[in-house]
């Protein structure tokens, strides 16, 4: 597990999947219940294969959020016309980050 003040960077790529966001890169700080998203960068597929998907809104909502408080199940239940919705992809990322940082 990372030290309290260290940032841990995690990149999740979805290039081979039918989803609009190509990569999600998270910087996580803190440990256990204090683990939170310090930074998030989302790379979208270019139009027309991607969607506008509101990446800036997603980043604004998640920056500073504690991993333990996010409703991953609700995100994973979201659907869209793609095989993998942005919420489902985000849910996968957050579930992995929780395993690494919250449950340690």
Q: Report the candidate in 83, 66, 86, 65 with the shortest Cα–Cα distance to residue 75.
A: 86
Which pLDDT value is given to residue 53?
64
Quick: pLDDT tens for 5-41.
468 999 999 988 998 889 999 999 998 999 999 999 9
Cα four-point dihedral sign 64, 65, 66, 67: negative
pLDDT the model gives residue 28? 97
pLDDT given for residue 104 in this prediction: 55
Q: What's CA 55's distance to the chain center, in Å?
A: 11
Separation of alpha carbons 29 and 15, rounded Å = 26
Q: Which residue, 44, 46, 36, 54, is CA-closest to 14?
A: 44
pLDDT the model gives residue 50: 65
pLDDT tens-digit profile of 33-67?
999 999 999 998 877 766 766 788 899 999 999 99
For residue 22, give the 3-state DSSP assignment: strand
């Amino acid at each position: 597990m990372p030290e309290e003040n260290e940032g841990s960077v995690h990149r999740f790529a979805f290039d081979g999947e039918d989803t609009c966001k190509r990569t999600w890169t998270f910087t996580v700080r803190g440990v256990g219940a204090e683990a939170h998203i310090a930074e998030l960068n989302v790379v979208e597929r270019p139009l027309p294969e991607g969607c506008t998907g509101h990446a800036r809104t997603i980043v604004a909502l998640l920056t500073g959020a504690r991993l333990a408080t996010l409703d991953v199940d609700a995100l994973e239940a979201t659907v869209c016309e793609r095989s993998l919705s942005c919420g489902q992809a985000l849910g996968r990322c957050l579930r992995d980050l929780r395993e690494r940082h919250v449950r340690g």
